[in-house]
Amino acid sequence: MESLSNKRKVLESKPLNFWERAYLPAIVQGLSITMKHFFRKPVTISYPEEQREFSENFRGMHSLKRDENGKERCTACGLCALSCPAEAITMIAAERQKGEEHLYREEKYAAVYEINMLRCIFCGLCEEACPKEAIYLDGNIVPADYLRKDFIYGKDKLVEAPLNQ
């Protein structure tokens, strides 16, 4: 068969010569290689103390955004939950009452909004689906925890901090 590239390397198995069979030169060679590594700078990043920079499109923990007046953008349309391939998002919608206009932007809002971080695969489809630009995966790594129930994040952990309070 014609090879795709014209590179060709002919392999031949010659019998080992005396120095190759003596094994010692090879050992010395190997020792010198490891010695070179001995003085090389370690590649380790001591994690909690020093952290690696994330890439710009890193998808971490979700946050529910507020608009420029500090009102919650989410209108509980459910598109994020619908688009979620891992079915990690659940929400309960509620109607905005009189006097809550400064809290929620639309007439409908999410009274409960929960993401199960153990189910979430951080694909980012929720932020693509959202018509209100209300959810973004712009947070850090989701921290470890001891109990499964503690991985279900409610609005207390997800909603952005209020503007200036």
Partner 1 sequence: MGVVDILIKFGLVLIIFLISLVIAMYSTYAERKIAAFFQDRIGPNRAGPWGLLQPLADGGKMFLKEEIIPTHANAFLFIAGPSLAIMTACIGSAVIPWGQQMTIGSKVIDLQVADINVGVLYIFGVVSLGVYGVMIGGWASNNKYSLLGAIRAASQNISYEISMGLSIIALLMVTGTLSLRQIAEQQHSWHWNILYQPLGFLLFIVCAFAETNRTPFDLPECETELVGGYHTEYSSMKLGFYLFAEYINMFISSAVMATLYWGGYNYPGMDWVLAHTGPAIGPLIGVVVLFVKIFLFIFFFMWVRWTIPRFRYDQLMDLGWKILIPLAIANIIITGVWMTFIK
Please enumerate, by residue number, every residue annotated as part of a binding site: 74, 77, 80, 84, 120, 123, 126, 130
Residue range at the interface with partner 1 (CB under 8 A); choices 30-38, 71-79, 98-106, 146-154: 30-38
Is residue 35 at the binding interface for partner 1, with CB under 8 A as the rule? yes
Binding track, positions 45-64, relative to partner 1; x by CB under 8 A: -x------------------
Which contacts qualify for 11-16: CB closer than 8 Å, 24 or more apart? none
Distances in whole angstroms, Cα of residue 161 to Cα of each of 13, 88, 101, 130, 144:
70, 23, 18, 20, 22
**What are the φ and ψ backbone dihedral angles of 156, each rounded to 5 degrees?**
-60, -30
Residue range at the interface with partner 1 (CB under 8 A); choices 27-35, 63-71, 73-81, 85-93: 27-35
Strand-pair partners of 152: 116
CA distance 78 to 126: 10
87: which 2 tokens? 């079915």
Q: Which of 19, 20, 33, 82 binds partner 1 (CB under 8 A)?
A: 33
Residue range at the interface with partner 1 (CB under 8 A); choices 12-20, 35-43, 96-104, 121-129: 35-43
Is residue 44 at the binding interface for partner 1, with CB under 8 A as the rule? yes
**What are the φ and ψ backbone dihedral angles of 158, each rounded to 5 degrees?**
-95, -35
Is residue 38 at the binding interface for partner 1, with CB under 8 A as the rule? yes
What residues line the site for partner 1 (CB under 8 A)?
A: 27, 30-31, 33-35, 37-38, 40-44, 46
